[in-house]
Structure 1
């Protein structure tokens, strides 16, 4: 018995306090230690490992008068065995009550939306407050976590409806934005199409005008050449000019949808006689009385696209 009371073995993660006649003298670290029999005894066996303390659930009224159920967990570690043993009675109960009171204080100063959305802020404020309060007890508060927040059932239903309405609103806005972008894209496409079509029409009109201008220039040059030839007395020039107009008129007459019958010379070589007659008419311009043009050879009537008729 003497040997058993004198030799003490302290396990790892624990520290023992030594008392002499009821007064604290020293702290035993993990390992084997010999005490003075009958004079020194082990006072408190302190757990030096990190411990998890469960804070019971409680109802807290928020700033906007909503009652919520809140519970938490606290991670603590004893750093000074003597202070934890002799400066506070029932260390775990003291920390639990301290956490509950500070939890009511912090949550009660916030509105429900803030409580639900700012858990990290609540944890930080609780950690700072409780760690400062437990410092003299030789305890280090490592972390505090809000484990559960339970609003009333009617508040939960209202929040669910609000969330649903908010999501529907966002969906409508997103759909409207998409429709808006689509209409803008279609309008831009129509605008670009109209611009390209207008540019195409302008280019075509420019090309048509240029072609007509060149055609007019060519016609003017041809007319000028014919006029010069006539002025010089060249009958072939006037014959060519009249024959060209004759062929063009005959082609237009043949293409007319209302024309049923076209009168043409029996021998198309009669066109030469007509041209020659016109030449004789030009030669007689200086005479007092014009001579009649020789009549063309007999003609026949031929329906367009049909057989030749008398």
Structure 2
């Protein structure tokens, strides 16, 4: 019975040893590499080969493998605090996208111990050199130029170590909060000034247009009044000629005055604002009114003849040739 127990224990131990040996050999011989990754195989610490994606074989106890090296595009965020030419401190976040080329895996693994730190150093140096020659306003307008300068510097420097720079982005330029508040105040004042100038210009145009309209209205009104007076004068002259032809030349003036008088009364009655109009009622007063109108017309005619005589130099008492 004891012999059977001893043999069973020995068998169990042998199976365990064989399992461990062959399992360890299997894991030390075969290994897999994922897609978009490479693994470097070293023999006694010396580079042997680059293992591609899929199932790979290595010599057990002699060859070792490194950690997987990613071939995907990676992005590094770098925040840089620097000073512009006009002594304004700004913070500039820069995003650098880089990748390791499949043919450059060996250089990328062995030549640089910390590639991200190397990229940071180049970005810091390039951005600070660029910003030192720009004012704050210029830096906002030149974000793309800064990004291009960083990308050119990184591409040239990191290519020696097997890294390819895919893209470089300057995502923002952020000055201090007090500086931002001052810039906002300046921009608001400039917009207020432009708005005030626009309003003043619009008011000026409105006033000029209104003045031109009033001038045109007055001109047209004056032309209308002149045409009306000309028509009245022409009508009176025609009526006077008709009365002369009818043989009532001596009383033609009185008749015309009376006609104009009654026309005036009718116009006043239609368009006047007063409800009461005082007029002479006796014939003598009416005759006096006609006499005054006649005298006024005769005085005006005499004044016109005198003025014409003075202008021509043949007034009363002047020598005649």
Structure 1: distance between partners of 2:256 and 2:208: 53
Q: TM-score, normalised by structure 1?
A: 0.66
Structure 2: distance between partners of 1:58 and 1:251: 98
Establish whether residue 224 from structure 1 lines up as the match of residue 245 from structure 2. yes
Establish whether residue 179 from structure 1 lines up as the match of residue 204 from structure 2. no
Q: TM-score, normalised by structure 2?
A: 0.64
Structure 1: distance between partners of 2:124 and 2:255: 118
Q: Is the 8 A contact 2:240 2:252 kept in 1?
A: no
Establish whether residue 86 from structure 1 lines up as the match of residue 110 from structure 2. yes
* Structure-2 residue corresponding to 1:32: 55
Residues 158, 72 of structure 1: CA spacing in aligned structure 2 closer, same or farther, 3 A cutoff? closer
Q: Is the 8 A contact 1:44 1:85 kept in 2?
A: no
* Structure-2 residue corresponding to 1:137: 161
* Structure-1 residue corresponding to 2:85: 63
* Structure-2 residue corresponding to 1:124: 148
Consecutive unaligned residues of structure 1, counting only runs of 5 or more, are 227-237, 265-310
Establish whether residue 77 from structure 1 lines up as the match of residue 99 from structure 2. yes
Q: Is the 8 A contact 2:43 2:63 kept in 1?
A: yes
Residues 46, 133 of structure 1: CA spacing in aligned structure 2 closer, same or farther, 3 A cutoff? same
> SS at 1:259's partner residue?
coil
Q: Is the 8 A contact 1:67 1:151 kept in 2?
A: yes
Structure 2: distance between partners of 1:81 and 1:250: 121
Higher helix share: 2
* Structure-1 residue corresponding to 2:3: none
- Report the CA distance between 1:216 and its aligned residue: 0.9
Q: Is the 8 A contact 1:49 1:77 kept in 2?
A: yes
Structure 2: distance between partners of 1:219 and 1:247: 7
* Structure-1 residue corresponding to 2:34: 11
- Report the CA distance between 1:46 and its aligned residue: 0.7
Find 1:194's aligned residue among 215, 230, 251. Answer: 215
Residues 242, 54 of structure 1: CA spacing in aligned structure 2 closer, same or farther, 3 A cutoff? closer
Find 1:46's aligned residue among 59, 69, 80. Answer: 69
199-208 or 241-250, which deviates more: 241-250
Q: Is the 8 A contact 1:68 1:150 kept in 2?
A: yes
Q: Is the 8 A contact 1:73 1:146 kept in 2?
A: yes
Q: Which has the larger radius of gyration?
A: 1
> SS at 1:110's partner residue?
coil
Find 1:102's aligned residue among 111, 126, 137. Answer: 126
Q: Segments of 4+ in structure 1 off by > 6 A?
A: none
Establish whether residue 111 from structure 1 lines up as the match of residue 132 from structure 2. no
> SS at 1:63's partner residue?
coil
Residues 133, 252 of structure 1: CA spacing in aligned structure 2 closer, same or farther, 3 A cutoff? closer
Consecutive unaligned residues of structure 2, counting only runs of 5 or more, are 1-23, 266-276, 286-321
* Structure-2 residue corresponding to 1:284: none
Q: How many residues align?
A: 247
